[in-house]
Amino acid sequence: MGRIEYYNDPRAPKPNTLIPASNLLVVDDEGRILLQRRRDTDQWALPGGAQEIGETPSACAVRECFEETGVQAVVTGFLGIYSDPRHIVAYTDGEIRQEYEVTLLGKPTGGAPAPNEEASDVAWVRPSDLSELDIHETMRRQMRDYLEGNYPHAD
């Protein structure tokens, strides 16, 4: 299923759903961030997706990370809730969503990056290389919040 993302676009269609989703920003021991290249938009993104009934946001983020990247991870913290009515995602099946994402922090525990039916590529990316990649602005904002320390800390 294809999709088109709109951000701050007056031409965006009116949303008809609000679906909770969870992302996992996984950082390895070298400080690299795990990213997937989405097949539906060809953009780089954090692993994540829609939460299923009976699932917690943490379980969703861990499941989606493994499904989309081949990397097993655990949740280590909370980055933020990203729900912006100006970010609309229109799917080819007629669903039009307003963004609602819980983004968690994580660290890898196993597996290996591997392309799959949802991701044409998976890679560990150094923060200094992020500017070279095609990343949607709303996803880039989440990574920027992490890199700038704009999230609750447990210290």
Integer Cα distance of 52 and 19 in angstroms: 10
- 99-126 tens-digit pLDDT: 899 999 999 999 999 999 999 999 999 9
Output the pTM of the full model.
0.91
13 phi, psi to nearest 5 deg: -70, 160
Strand-strand pairing, 101-111 and 21-26: parallel
Compute the distance between CA of residue 10 and CA of residue 86 in angstroms, rounded to an integer: 9
Q: Which two tokens stand for residue 24?
A: 């996992």
Average pLDDT, the chain: 95
Residue 61: both structure tokens together: 């983020």
Which of 53-62, 82-91, 101-110, 130-139 is predicted with the least confidence, judged by mean pLDDT?
82-91
Burial 111-143 (b: 16+ CB within 10 A, else e): eebebeebbeebbbbeeeebeeeebbebbbbbb
The reply to whether CATH 3.90.79.10 applies to domain 3-147 is: yes
